[in-house]
Structure 1
Amino acid sequence: MKTQVCIIGGGPAGLLLGHLLHAEGVECVVLEQRTPEYVLSRIRAGVLENITVSLMERLGLDSRLKAEGLPHDGFNLADGERLIRIDMADLVGDHVWVYGQTEITKDLMDAAPQRGLQVIYEAEGVALHDVAGDAPYVTYRLPGDEDDRRVDCRFIAGCDGFHGPSRKAIPANAGTAYELVYPFGWLGILADVPPCNHELIYANHERGFALASMRSPTRSRYYVDVPLTDRVEEWSDDRLWDELAIRLGPEAAANITRGPAIEKSIAPLRSFVFAPMRYGSLILCGDAAHIVPPTGAKGLNLAASDVHYASEALTRFFKAGDNDAVAGYSDKALARVWKSERFSWSLTKLMHRFPEGGAFERAMQVAELDYIANSRAAQTTIAENYVGLPV
């Protein structure tokens, strides 16, 4: 098979890039290791910045998002006693949407056959070859194959996540990995109960962090931070609901509706950036190049901004012979990545208790939250970053 761009990974980043390129007449194919059912079973975040929504609008795939998504004009920080509302609409004249990443993926997935975007699922043993040159190719196998299949292309877009093969195809001496692994994970519960607040609550309590969020008016997603040594089996539903009620504070606790878990899991947290995000004919997008802790709701939105830059660069290359756009992709993407990493890292530091932190660090968190509560300037900075910096 021959194509212009081979996209590795059929999650939201890969599918979004595929749709954008296909709409511009750039030939592409998407390779996904898993089945469609497995891709849709992954539980992910659901706060969307304007960049993500605008790309769905551009593709004409925003109808369900607008019908079922929840526009949020603000969110809350809690210090165990009070809610500090960050009024994004008033402070920066903008808002975010709450719409599950799984739903974005489903919208992109469902539209692929009718629009002619080729997505190959269950592509096993994906390997990237000759990425340093101008004629890279990808090999893979489908279930039952005895021999490799091959895709020849001009560019490869690695949208295959942190553990995928794309970043590993770059020589160790050709890039730098920056990483911070956090000493806790997020224990999450998904339940078919109404949320305790119509907006998100990020809470800093003496017992630890908590988050109250939602997927819809009838489905809630809650988190608490736990040591990495904890196991899900140690946390019954009742124990988790009790802990949430304590950490979120009395105002939120009074409105919590309890229910059985649909899904419960512990996710480790890390900050990670690989630079550069381009090597030869290989471009990295999304989690293949960077990971943010979910505190700032930046993961999917950073992937979307990468895809925006990548689709523009590749379209200009194939339609106008513009080499500079591809050459400049990494610097342009990384400028936004690092700013988003900074915000997610700083919010994580503010809202979590770190094992090595003592009484002084806790006092600094309390002082910072009190400053934010009484400073419009501080709230504006947070709102500006939360709704998403310009692309």
Structure 2
Amino acid sequence: AAVLAALVTAGARPAEPGEFTRRAVLNGQVDLLQAEAIGDLIDARSQRARRAAIDQLDGGLSRRVLALRDALITLEALIAYDIDFPEEDDGPVPRDRILHAADDAQAQLEALLATARAGELVREGALVVIAGAPNAGKSSLFNALLGRRRAIVTDVPGTTRDALEAVLDAGRWPLRLVDTAGLRQTDDLVEQLGVEVSTDYLGQADIVLACGESDDAVAHVVNVVTPMTKGVVVPVRTKDDVDASDAGDASDASDASASSGSDSAGDASPAAVSTSAERGTGLGELVAAIEQVLDSTSGGVPPDTPLLTHLRHRQAIDRARGEVAAFREGWASGALPAPVAAVHLREGVHVLEELVGAVDVEDVLSRVFSSFCIGK
């Protein structure tokens, strides 16, 4: 503290949030997407999030965005040629060529926009909520998946009064695993508050693990939680200590999930999974079922594909896509004169340049670096 005070007295000042990275952007060492990747790399809580941040820092997303910008500039140049030199020997630019170029640019923008869901899951982690009645083995399953004791486990119903959250980084997707209070009617005020917290988590969940010790219990939990969530419900039997004939009845819980699951799940609703936290059985199968759901709901983005990991990215690409679509519609129908239609292309180029920081946008810089720690 004394050294810092002496430095300030001598004229130095503390660095502002993200100032070093901001200077790198202003000096052209990195672009805005790469600068965001530095913050993402610092905050990454999983291997996949780190890999995605490193790829973005290496310029993977920037190259794709700039290639799209160049495609729009080329398309804009074709329109300008038609406007400025309509009677050249080569004749006007074929209309089909312009429409094909516009369709190709729009398809590329839509393909990039489709990575936003996967990018969100990679950066923030998929929210996986463990739900069920009190004393249904939720906390034991939570601890078993984490491989350590994180939640208190007793035979007393209602032991878990609050939600416990931990990151599980054991597969293709980072998971935000949440152990919740048992769902039941109770006169205990503290437990009531815990159930309210559980309900809030269910409303935000990407996946709900509907836990019960028997098939009937699992089916009941599936029916209870399905109206409370937009996520995919995975039936989980937490006592894998029945004989093979009983194990076949697990399909009842799976059928309940398929018949009453959320519309967003589509074909992603998995079969029931039997687990035993005590013996450690079924845990790998459960993680595999979770990953299968996420693979399906994230759009099946191939590995090593540049991802849109921020809301700012998604909004910019969506705006650019909208501008190209407006150009395409106006040009194809003849409703817009060429100079007016070309304005949409210019706006699309501007949006993409703003995304990578190729234009002087002080407010965008301030917004990006406000989330950085001091210095960096």
The TM-score normalised by the length of structure 2 is 0.25
Structure possessing the higher radius of gyration over alpha carbons: 2
More helix by share: 2
More strand by share: 1
